[in-house]
Amino acid sequence: MSLIDTHCHLNFDSYDEDRDAVIARAAEQGVMTIIIPATDADTTRQGLALAARYDGIYAAVGIHPNSSAHFSDDNISTLAELAAAPKVVAVGEIGLDYHWDTSPRDTQRRAFEAQLALASSLELPVIIHNRDASDDVMAVLESWAADLPPALRQRPGVLHSFSAPQAIADRALACGFYLGFTGPITFKNADDLRRVAANTPLDRILVETDGPFLTPTPHRGKRNEPAYVRFVAERLASIRQMSDEALAQATTANAVRLFGLPQ
């Protein structure tokens, strides 16, 4: 079974002691490709360095809403320069976060909209972070998606670690977005999320770890890592009453299509 972990913070220091072993364990589970999202300029550079060092690792550029308190136009210039590096496949993770009070909402929105504009200009899909901000996130994305360049109209991006209601999923899918599912799909109290996953078209599903966070059952409580994305995939296959291999093939094809990865 071949899988792509489309969202893992492999640059975080929780992997510093055993990063090579983490990548090797992923490969043993058929996870040969990993995408590293960014949270600010420094983590963008870290992701690019890892992408340059390892085959099968790709990176995104971006400023997370919780890192946007001091956002300025200079940040966009920096990200544009970093995006010229090889193996950059997306702008993200970007979006809105109303759970943590680390950046004013108007500043978050300004950073979000500026980075969406950057993604359009670079013709790169976006990786969207949404926490307790679904309506505002979708209002921004619906406006943006209405005027995309042709190269992005069928692959605008992904709502990563999707956890919102079905109505938000429907709005995102109507704009062409993919939905990324993570460890919570395996949790006991996630019946609503599993119903969303069951209703999502197969060609719009991605699997992610969001490592080191959101570790799936049966490893919940431990550090997450790309090898564990198979537990997400297996649960999705069960939800959709299909084979693990068919689910893996579909989500891998989806990731290749969305992020322009090598076949």
Give tens-digit pLDDT for 129-185: 999 999 999 999 999 999 999 999 999 999 999 999 999 999 999 999 999 999 999
> Is the pTM above the cut of 0.75?
yes
Q: Are 251 and 207 in contact (CB under 8 A)?
A: yes
Among 239, 214, 244, CA closest to 228: 214
Residue carrying the six token digits 């090579």:
20
Q: Are 10 and 50 in contact (CB under 8 A)?
A: yes
Q: Are 55 and 33 in contact (CB under 8 A)?
A: no
Domains and CATH numbers, the chain: 3-259 (3.20.20.140)
Q: What is the reported pLDDT for 188?
A: 95
- Strand ranges, E, within the chain: 3-5, 31-36, 57-61, 88-97, 126-131, 157-159, 178-181, 205-207
Q: What is the reported pLDDT for 247?
A: 98
Burial class of residue 187 (count of CB atoms within 10 Å of its CB; 0-12, 13-18, 19+): middle
What residue type is 220 in one-letter code?
R
Q: What is the Cα–Cα distance from 203 to 206, expressed in whole angstroms?
A: 9
Q: Are 167 and 174 in contact (CB under 8 A)?
A: no
Q: Which residues of the chain have pLDDT under 70?
A: none
Q: What is the reported pLDDT for 263?
A: 79
Number of DSSP helices (H) and strands (E) in the chain, helices first: 9, 8
